[in-house]
Amino acid sequence: MKHTKREWMPLYSFLDRKRVTGHLADMAARGWMLDRLGTWSWHYRRAEPKQLRFTITFFAGAGRFSPAPAAGLDTFQDYCAQAGWHRAASSDQVQVFYSEDPDAVPIDTDPAAELENIRRSIGKPMVCSYIALLLIILLYMAMNFRSLLTDTVNVLSNPAFLLSFAGELPLLVLAVASLTLYGRWLRKAKAAAEANLPLPDLRSARGLSILCLVWAGLLMVGALASLGDSTGMVFLTIGMLLFFALTWFLANTARKAMQGLRFPRWANLLVTVGIIAAMMIGEFAGLLAFLLRTPSAVWLEDRPPVETYTAHGMTWSVYADPIPLRVEDLIDIDYDGWSTEADVEWSPLATHGEYRQDARLGDKDLPELRYEIVTVKIPFLYDLCKRDFIQWVERDNDQLPVEYWEEYRTVAPAPWGAEEVLQRYSSGEPVNQFLLCWPDRMAEVNLPWDWDLTADQMAVIGEKLLNA
């Protein structure tokens, strides 16, 4: 027979006292007595089924980083025992008591004093935690918004960015909702205390909490799926998650040990934060050292090279990715040593492909090809993507004299088969870099500087990139 029971993610607010105590009373009537309140679960032990009363009170002197047991807590528990209330479990400031006496006098009898105790013990820490979370989320969203404006194409086509943004929204809603609900409860509680009436309960937002957990799970699955076919990246991500779990375990173990050794609150907090910071710095330093010592990052790639070769004392990879436009489409050339790479990212907002064609180092002087293709799936984002290409060319103009500016200028689009074509000008001279625009697609092409493009070449480029 099983003698212990664990209830994962109960998701109750301890200010929702009637629901929590009613739940605990039901469990006791079924033969399960609350034994411990964990961070992620409540623990029960098998006991004789009894009709018990439960109550929840708070002890301001206790806390996550305060010495344990808190000063005066034993005296407080003895006082409660004399009134017929016995400790069942506790978690930081939260104290859960039970009584077999249905007529036992409540522990908290003064609503004003009870309210002040709640505000000092859990109200102030909770508000500070949610405000800190809210500020972090808003800062992170501001950084993401800045990235959207300064690196639009890469951001819109990056599924990791969308997952990150999607992860911020439920946390933002949770923080704002929790602060709002607590503020409303506090106003009602003040009114009740002034009227010497029992304090109201703060109903648990279990539905919102469950939604956040489900959302977090889906985001985790999506994040792993976005890693593509790179086995190395999958293992690296899982390894980092395991390291974070180890960091949390060590920091939490140290925190509890310092509580037992009665470290001051500030010292416990400082050491715990120091452990987390040292572990994080150590992890990233170790990862960086590993990557620097690894001669090739092939294990991190989503596809292996078809072969490798050595030139100038270094190892280089050769790829054979299919690309829509090749050098052979534009000029006659007898060479079969090309390396072609295609790096395509997809999101529900945009698709961004970066393509290149290179000859092997050490071979004769051969042309190289670079181009990007962006397909915009939501029309109002089109101008943002176009501006991104233009601003990238003009990014350093504020530091240069006007005669040395880099800029895009409009040229005739007809030979290209596009609606609009821009050509890059450097110091007033045209260079072979073009931005081709269609209704839902644009392509930026970098061609060899010494090519004198013909109308036929322009037509081939436009057709290949439009139909890619």
Q: What is the pLDDT of residues 434-453, one digit of tens each?
A: 999 999 999 999 999 889 99
DSSP class of residue 123 equals I
Asked if 242 and 348 sit in the same domain, the reply is: no
Asked if 30 and 142 sit in the same domain, the reply is: no
Q: Has residue 421 been placed in a domain? A: yes
Q: Has residue 105 been placed in a domain? A: no
Asked if 116 and 183 sit in the same domain, the reply is: yes
Asked if 287 and 309 sit in the same domain, the reply is: no
Asked if 156 and 41 sit in the same domain, the reply is: no
Asked if 406 and 458 sit in the same domain, the reply is: yes
Separation CA 136–CA 360 (nearest Å): 47
Asked if 348 and 462 sit in the same domain, the reply is: yes
Asked if 371 and 449 sit in the same domain, the reply is: yes
Asked if 359 and 460 sit in the same domain, the reply is: yes
| Rg of the Cα atoms in the chain | 32
Tell me the one-letter amino acid at 165: F
Q: Has residue 23 been placed in a domain? A: yes
Q: Yes or no: say if 349 and 158 are a contact pair by the CB < 8 Å rule.
A: no
> Which residues lie below 8 Å from residue 35, measured CB to CB, with a gap of 6+?
4, 43, 44, 45, 88, 89
Confidence tier at 34 by pLDDT (50, 70, 90): very high
* Model confidence at 398: pLDDT above 80: yes
Q: Yes or no: say if 453 and 367 are a contact pair by the CB < 8 Å rule.
A: no
Tell me the one-letter amino acid at 40: W
Task: Indicate yes or no: pTM above 0.85.
Answer: no
Asked if 86 and 121 sit in the same domain, the reply is: no
Task: Give the pLDDT of residue 54.
Answer: 96
Q: Yes or no: say if 225 and 23 are a contact pair by the CB < 8 Å rule.
A: no
Task: Give the pLDDT of residue 379.
Answer: 93
Examine the fold and report which residue of 99, 128, 156 is the final residue of a domain before the chain moves on.
99
Domain of residue 207: give its range: 110-226
Task: Give the pLDDT of residue 217.
Answer: 74
Task: Give the pLDDT of residue 382.
Answer: 96
* Model confidence at 322: pLDDT above 80: yes
Asked if 339 and 460 sit in the same domain, the reply is: yes
Q: Has residue 416 been placed in a domain? A: yes
Number of domains in the chain: 4
Q: Yes or no: say if 385 and 350 are a contact pair by the CB < 8 Å rule.
A: yes
